[in-house]
A and B are shown apart, each in its own frame.
Chain A
Amino acid sequence: MTPDDTRGFLRRVFRLPESRARSRRALDDELRFHLEGRIEELVAQGLSRHDAEAEARRRFGNLEIHRNATLAIDDQIIQEHRRMDFLDTVTRELRHAARSLARSRGFTVAAVLTLGLGLGAATAIFTMLDAVVLRPLPFANADRLVELTSPVPKFKGDTLWGLARHEAFYFQDNSRAIEDIGLYQNAEVTVGGDGGDHPAERARAVQASAGLFRVLGITPEYGRNIVLGDNVPRTPTVLVLGHGYWQRRFGGDASVVGRSIDIDGYPMTVVGILPASAQLPDQQVDLWYPANTYPGQQAYNNHTWNAIARLRPGFTAASAQRELAPLTARLPELFPDAEPPNFVKNTGFYTQVRPLRDVVVGDVMTRALWILFGSVLVVLFIAAANLSSLFLVRMDARRREIAVRAALGADRSHLAAQLLAESVLIALAAALLGVALAQSGLRVLLTMAPTSLPRLNEVELGAAGIAFAAGGALVVALVLGLLPLFGPSLLDLGLLRDGARGSTISRRRHVVRGALVVSQVALSLVLITAAGLMVRSFRNLRSVQPGFNPDGVLAMTIAVPGQRYGRDYARTSAFYEQLITRVEQLPGVAVAGVSEKIPLKDGNLCTGVTIEVPESDRASGDCPSTALVSPGYFEAMGIRIAGEPLTWSGMDQHDGRMIVSSAFAELHHWTGRDAIGKGLKYSGTTPPWYRVSGVAADVLADGFDKPPVSIVYFPMLPLPDAKLWGVPTEMNLVVRTKSGNAMALAPAITRIVTELEPSAATANATLMNTLVAKSMARRTFTMMLLGIAAAMALLLSVVGLYGVLSYVVGQRRGEIAIRMALGAQVAQVGRMVVAQSLRLTALGVGLGVVAALASMRVLQSLLFGVKPTDPLLLGWAAVLLLAVAVAAGYLPARRAASIDPADALRAE
């Protein structure tokens, strides 16, 4: 065959594409053959050469026209062929790849499992990150919604006040940045019983300004929203029902619109029902009723309103905050009745604007999810590294096949197509497995996840998650499929000549594989350290003495109707005293008490108190939280008291005893028993004074990682002439049990409450231990997920290490056999393998320590009581990995040692 024919043959065999130039040449050959044939024929018939040519051309007709017409057809043919060739190549390569993968089932299963695991973890966490952090809140124009708050840095560190009503309306009228503004306050209310199936119950309510409905884009399902006119107080007031509550309490009956409902003993008229989508950011609301907020009302210095604003297009939170600064500074001048002249100067008061989403999700959660996402990407990388390692082993085994194909004229793109087809198939299967794993993993995660995490109800594996898994799989497939082509060794035809040895190639591969293992070990060390830091933080947090003892303690809210109790301390106090007496008679109950505020549940906004003999150097930040309590509360909550506690008989006889927290005493430099006998009052400066009878242990009421709360406790039955801030119609009942399930007491307590006062309601029955767990939820959750990621990283690294060692032992069979034949001991051979494992791991550990030291600072805000660069933890992580390296080397070492020299050498 001529070289031309050979090319044509190979082209057909390997289906190399035709080119237009080639088809043009072929057509010209064909036409020339035709004309020359005719001319010869005519010459044979006796025409002169010249005449024959002219006659042949005449018969042929217009050469250009016919040639072009034919070429056009040829071009179509080429295009069709190319299209079909492409499809053909794809299906053929895929089929070929599927067959070849089916042949090596072990490899395929290992590869799909490894990558599927990595993809599953990454997809699950990406889905959470997407739902919680990346996706906008479920409101119209969510990206333009901001929260307005008022920091008072000079008054009290990180306290955030809300907005005053006049302030909000002033901003609405005068700020260019703010398009609309909504105000609200959370409240719990008692919905009166209907005499039938529904007894009196507590409901989560919101007092809202009409603006809130506009800002959040709420349109009612039935009836109407709260409108501006409703915000001017009048009776009866109106009410809008949340969808869920409407379903639960009224069975979804739309005729409830227009009906009157008893709220805290007052009639309110239902004017509308909201759709299920209408919610406050990450907060379920049962009832919405109008807040007393309207433009032009008397200005008060009450910065207590939550404010959500919608910015005009083009403004950011930062630019809005800049714009509001001068407006805020002018407030005292404009509203002299509300703010004292030096108010802004003394408190450092300003208006802070933050994107609503950041407020809802929180910095810690955002950071935690990004860190977790980073961790699972690392796991995915480790999985992909394992996979590359597997692929490299496979490549080596197939070097001959590839060399033959290369010699037969297959070019790199064809070899790439074949490798790519295999990795695409594996990635595809892995993506399917990953999505399935992510789906079930998320379900488990969400049931384990504490409900106090934001936006968890929005987490769902959807198109974004599936696209992520597919995209991740594709990237891995591309890298895997193309990676082996970048070395020249693939097309080394020398392989065909000298048998399938090519030791230089395998050395190059050794380096690549070694590098993969080293990076896996290094990354695992980083993840293990991170998980270790989280576990240490969690344990530190758990071992903190919170100042109360949550074990076996039940807490629940008890509310009496404000209409009948709201002005009568004695009546209210008597009710709670009766209740506590009855509850203490229940079997298993040790002691019970009530308090307005309990740790980890109620906010501790501070108020001022007056002291009988003020110190000359009054401590700055002297702004304690206050709570009304009953005798027995401290015992029930397990808060130790130094001095005399409150007693029932003493309180009823107005002995004036009160308790202060240790932090409050320290702030006033009352050491030891100094505090006892000091006179305090809620407001006013004239006798009678309450007398401090005991100092309560400090309680970490705002969270175990926060400083203790400075708080003063007044008796719930005040002195007749030293009024407190209001009758406590809503209290937390705290019950300490001797044994058994404290939660099981809740129904019995609710029965007692209803017997004592049919229109009283109970709610929020919860164990104190549950509140503790909730307060640590974000840390626990992060710790748990980081732990899972670290365990996966460790497992995959071990598998990677094991794979490489097994391969190396396989490769070195000959060498090992010679050593054994020359008298090496079994133990020596084993040590050699383990030593290799340790060498790689030690290098990885070294790099990992450096990486951990450099990167652990991102964890700082999630840690508690442990430094990000804790040397002990790093040491333990290193030891763990080295131990694992020895274990990973064990099996391959045994295999190496069991090689029979004679067999191995014969096989060479």
Chain B
Amino acid sequence: MAAPTERELLRGTLDMLVLKTLSWAPMHGLAVLRWIEAGTRERLQIEEGALYPCLHRMEQKGWLIAEWGYTDGGRKAKFYRLSAAGRRQLAAEVSRWRHYTETVALLLAAEPSP
């Protein structure tokens, strides 16, 4: 389980991570999780159940499009893919995130003024 600080961070960024993940290819929920785990070298461990309200909310907002399909193993699963609106949302979140981390980095790197 992730440490509390990581969880706080996660809550605001889960949307962005999911969008980013789905920007590669349509996936079902479990695949999304595996991607995030692999991509973060298992440093981020998410409470998996929380992914589903997140996915459905983004579907409601029109960022994701859900369709039932079949996995390579021939099993029926619900696949999500990014809509055009989702792509725009991802771009917006990413740029906001960059701006935020740059600002924080600037502050942390600052020397005390003479």
Contact = CB atoms under 8 A, between A and B. Distances in A.
Interface in B56-101: 56-57, 59-60, 68, 75-78
B30 A34 contact: yes
A38 B53 CA distance: 19
Contacts of A38: 30, 48
A29 B56 contact: no
B48 A73 contact: no
A74 interface: yes
B30 to A, nearest CB: 5
Contacts of B53: 66, 69-70, 73
B57 A33 contact: no
Interface string A14-54: 00000000000011011101100110000000000000000
A76 B57 CA distance: 10
A37 B33 CA distance: 12
Given A73-B60, A74-B56, A33 B48 contact: no
A70 B53 CA distance: 4
A27 B53 CA distance: 11
A686 interface: no
A37 B30 contact: yes
A151 to B, nearest CB: 78
Classify the secondary structure of B's interface with A: helix
B60 A33 contact: no
A77 interface: yes
Interface in A56-83: 59-63, 65-67, 69-70, 73-74, 76-77, 80
A73 to B, nearest CB: 4
Interface in A688-744: none
Contacts of B45: 59
A56 to B, nearest CB: 8
B52 A30 contact: yes
B30 A60 contact: no
A26 B59 CA distance: 14
B78 A65 contact: no
A31 B49 CA distance: 9
Contact of B56 (A33, A60, A63, A70): A70
Contacts, number: 60
Contact of A60 (B49, B60, B75, B77): B49
Most interface-central of B29, B49, B59, B68 (chain A CB within 10 A): B49
A37 B32 CA distance: 12
B36 to A, nearest CB: 13
Contacts of A74: 56
B93 to A, nearest CB: 20
A65 B59 contact: no
How many residues of A sit at the interface, in one of the four size bands?
A: 20 to 34
Contacts of B50: 61, 66
Contacts of A73: 53, 56-57, 60
Looking at A31, A73, A80, which has the most chain B CB atoms within 10 Å of its CB?
A73
A863 to B, nearest CB: 72
A74 B59 CA distance: 9
A69 B53 CA distance: 6
Interface string A142-156: 000000000000000
Nearest to B45: A59
A29 B60 contact: no
Nearest to A72: B53
Contacts of A67: 49, 52
A70 B56 CA distance: 6
A26 B77 CA distance: 10
B47 interface: yes
A34 B78 CA distance: 10
Contact of B49 (A26, A37, A61): A61
Interface string A101-145: 000000000000000000000000000000000000000000000
B49 A33 contact: no
A48 B76 CA distance: 25
B28 interface: yes
B29 A30 contact: yes
A74 B30 CA distance: 19
A63 B49 contact: yes
A30 B51 CA distance: 12
B47 A60 contact: yes
Contacts of B47: 59-61
B52 A33 contact: no
A31 B28 CA distance: 11
Nearest to A63: B49
Contact of A76 (B30, B60, B75): B60
A29 B78 CA distance: 9
A63 B77 CA distance: 18
Contact of B76 (A29, A66, A69): A29
Given A26-B78, A33-B76, A34-B30, A77 B60 contact: yes
A77 B59 contact: yes
A27 B52 CA distance: 9
A66 B56 contact: no
B59 A33 contact: no
B49 A30 contact: no
Contact of B60 (A26, A30, A59, A80): A80
Contacts of A66: 49-50, 52-53
A33 B60 CA distance: 21
Contacts of A33: 28-30, 75-78
Interface centre among A30, A59, A66 (most CB of B within 10 A): A30
Nearest to A69: B53
Given A33-B30, A33-B77, A61 B48 contact: yes
A70 B54 CA distance: 8
Contact of B77 (A27, A30, A62, A80): A30
B48 A77 contact: no
Contacts of A60: 47-49
Contacts of B48: 34, 38, 59-61
Contacts of B77: 30, 33
B17 to A, nearest CB: 17
Contacts of B75: 33
Nearest to B58: A73
Interface string A327-349: 00000000000000000000000
Nearest to A38: B30
B76 A31 contact: no
Nearest to A71: B56
A266 to B, nearest CB: 88
A31 B77 CA distance: 10
Given A29-B78, A30-B29, 13 more contacts: A27-B52, A29-B76, A34-B29, A38-B30, A61-B50, A65-B49, A66-B53, A70-B53, A70-B56, A73-B53, A73-B57, A74-B56, A76-B60
22 contacts: A27-B52, A29-B78, A30-B78, A31-B52, A33-B28, A33-B30, A33-B76, A33-B77, A34-B29, A34-B30, A34-B52, A59-B47, A59-B48, A60-B47, A60-B49, A61-B49, A61-B50, A66-B50, A70-B52, A70-B56, A73-B57, A80-B60
Interchain residue pairs A-B with the least CB separation, the first 9? A66-B49, A61-B47, A61-B49, A69-B53, A73-B56, A37-B30, A60-B49, A70-B52, A30-B78
